[in-house]
Amino acid sequence: MHPLGFLLLPPLVTLVVALLLWPLRWILVRRAVLDRPNERSSHAVPTPRGGGLVLVPVVLLLWTGLMRHEALPGQPGMVLLAALVLLLVSFLDDLRGLPAGLRFGLHLLAVVAGLLALPADWTLTQGLLPRWADLVLAGFAWLWLTELTNFMDGIDGISGVELGSVAFGLVLLAALGLLAPGQGLAALLLLAAMLGFLAWNWSPAALFLGDVGSVPLGFLTGWLLLLACGQGLWPVALILPAYYWADATLTLLKRLARGEKVWQAHRSHFYQRALASLTHGQVAGAILLADLGLVAAAVIAADGRVWAGLGLAVLLTAGLLLWLARRARPA
C-alpha cells in the first residue's frame, strides 16, 4: 500500500462507519428493532440494536482486500465466510430469538471451519503438544472468546473499548516488528471500524452492537489472536483480552455454582454490578485504562519478558475486578 493510503485509510474507515450507522439507526428505529429495557437490562430507554449490520460487512470487505493481496496467512476466505454466516444467524437471533443449542452449535461449526483454515505450519504450543491437541485447545479458547464477547456486550461502550484495545495491541506489536505486518494492518482496520461505532455507542448510547455484531467480531478477533499464537506470541492472546477472560469466566463459574441457567440474560458481571454506583462511561473508561495497561503487558511479554508481562496482566486484571466489585456496593 502507498504510504499516503496507509495514513488516510484508517480515518476514512472510521468516518465511513460512523456515517453509515446514521441511516442504519433510522431504519432500525422505523422497523422497531429495539433493545427494550427489562429487569436484567443495564439501560433505561429502548435503544436500536444492530450496529453490526454495518460494522461487520465493512471489516469483512476490508479484510477481503487484504486477502486478495495475500497479506493474511492460511485460508482467510474460509474464516471470512464463517463470519458472514455468523452475522446472518446472529441477526435472526436479534430479530426473533433462536434456541441456545442451535446458536452454540453454529458457533462451534464456525470455529471448526476456522481451525481448518489456519496455516499448515500453525502451532499453538510451538511443538510442545501434538497438532491435534493444539487445535483442541485453540478451538476451545476461540469458541469461548466468541461467546464471551457476546456475553460482555452489556453496557455502553464496553465492546468498542475491549475489541478496540485488543486491536490496538496487535497494531502496536506489528509496528514494533513483533507481529506480521498483514495481521497488524487487519487489526488497524478493525480498530478504525470500532472507533466509528464508538461514536454512536459511547454513553449514552444511541445504538447497540447487537448479537449481529458481537458474535462475528469476537470470532474475527479470536482469529487474529490465534494467528499471533502461531508466531510464538501465545502470551499476547492471553493478555490482551484478559479482563474479558476473567470477568466472563468467574461470572460463569459463580452462576453454575448457584445452579442458574447460564445461557439466560443476567446482570451478574463485575461491570454490570458496578453500575450500582458508577455510570456506563465511568465503567467503560476504567476498563479502557486497564486495557491500555494490558497492551503494555503484552508488549513486555512479546519482547521476551513473558513472566513479567503475564504478572503485570494478572495484577491489572485482578485490580480492575476488585475495584469494580467494591463499586457494586454503593457508598
Each residue's pLDDT tens digit, 159-212: 999 999 999 999 999 999 999 999 999 999 999 999 999 999 998 899 999 999
DSSP 25: H
Listing DSSP states for 34-59 in one string gives EE---TT-S-SS-EEB-THHHHHHHH
Which residue type does 139 have?
G
Q: Which residues of 95-125 are buried (b: 16+ CB within 10 A; e: fewer)?
A: eeebeeeebeebbeebbebbbebbeeebbbe
- CB within 8 A of 329, min separation 6: which ones? 276, 277
Coil/strand/helix, residue 208: strand
- CB within 8 A of 32, min separation 6: which ones? none
For residues 195 and 94, the model is more confident at 195
In DSSP terms, 208 is beta-bridged to 49
Percent of the chain with pLDDT over 90: 71
- CB atoms under 10 Å from CB of 87, counted, come to 23
Query: Which cell numbers hold the place of 91?
Result: 441477526
Each residue's pLDDT tens digit, 114-150: 999 999 899 998 888 899 999 999 999 999 999 999 8
Whether 165 contacts 288, CB under 8 Å: yes
Query: Which cell numbers hold the place of 67?
Result: 486477502
- CB within 8 A of 166, min separation 6: which ones? 187, 221, 224, 225, 240, 241, 291
**Predicted pLDDT at 268:** 77
Query: Which cell numbers hold the place of 70?
Result: 495475500
**Predicted pLDDT at 36:** 78
**Predicted pLDDT at 182:** 93
Whether 171 contacts 184, CB under 8 Å: yes
Reply yes or no on whether the pLDDT at 2 is more than 80. no
Q: 119: phi > 0 → left, psi -120 to 50 → alpha, else beta; which?
A: beta
**Predicted pLDDT at 264:** 66
Q: What is the mean pLDDT of residues 81-104?
A: 92
- Compute the Cα dihedral for 307, 308, 313, 315 and give only its sign: positive
Whether 159 contacts 218, CB under 8 Å: no
Coil/strand/helix, residue 64: helix
Each residue's pLDDT tens digit, 217-235: 999 999 999 999 999 999 9
Closest CA to 187 of 213, 226, 221, 218: 221
**Residue 72 backbone dihedrals phi, psi, to 5 degrees:** -120, 135
In DSSP terms, 34 is beta-bridged to 48
